[in-house]
Amino acid sequence: MRKFSIAVSFVFLVTGFAGLAHADINDFIRRVNEQAKTDIKSFNAKLSAQFGIPVPKVDDILKAVASPGDAFMVLQLAQMTNKQPETVVQTYQANRDKGWGVIAKELGIKPGSPEFHALKRGDFALTGKAGDSQDQGAGKGKGKGHRR
């Protein structure tokens, strides 16, 4: 009986930690919002550098969305879809109550595609470095592709 108890505890421990390790787009946006709250000017500068747009344009996007995390996602989806951030903001405003998956589909990201899976996982990073928005994970370098 004791072995069974230990086995059940082990399974619970492993599955419990696996659940905590699972991240998604909402977790990512929450973390971005927390980071932005500590220093919004630095956050704006990072978005500007990472996505190659002027800080005043970042400010305009921040005014048009509900949160700094949403501003990041607008810029991320603009980059992923090769659309102007203004187009993504319009799609966001029309569909924001439906979620980022619907917004991505409206912008042409196909469900089941690597880009859509990255979106659902929140597989992005706010680094402030140009072109560096995919989360490469610990120990992974550029060119390694998406985590699976």
CA distance 108 to 144: 24
Q: Where are the domains of the chain?
A: 23-148
User: Locate tokens 């500590």: which residue?
Assistant: 38
pLDDT in tens, 71-122: 999 999 999 999 999 999 999 999 999 999 999 999 999 999 999 999 999 9
133 pLDDT above the threshold of 60: yes
- Reported as half-sphere exposure (CB side, CA atoms, 13 A), residue 36 has a value of 22
What token pair was written down for 26? 């909402």
Instruction: Give me the pLDDT at residue 131, please.
Output: 72
| Distance separating alpha carbons of residues 106 and 101, to the nearest angstrom | 9
- Model's pTM, two decimal places? 0.75
For 35-77, what is each residue's pLDDT tens digit? 999 999 999 999 999 999 999 999 999 999 999 999 999 999 9
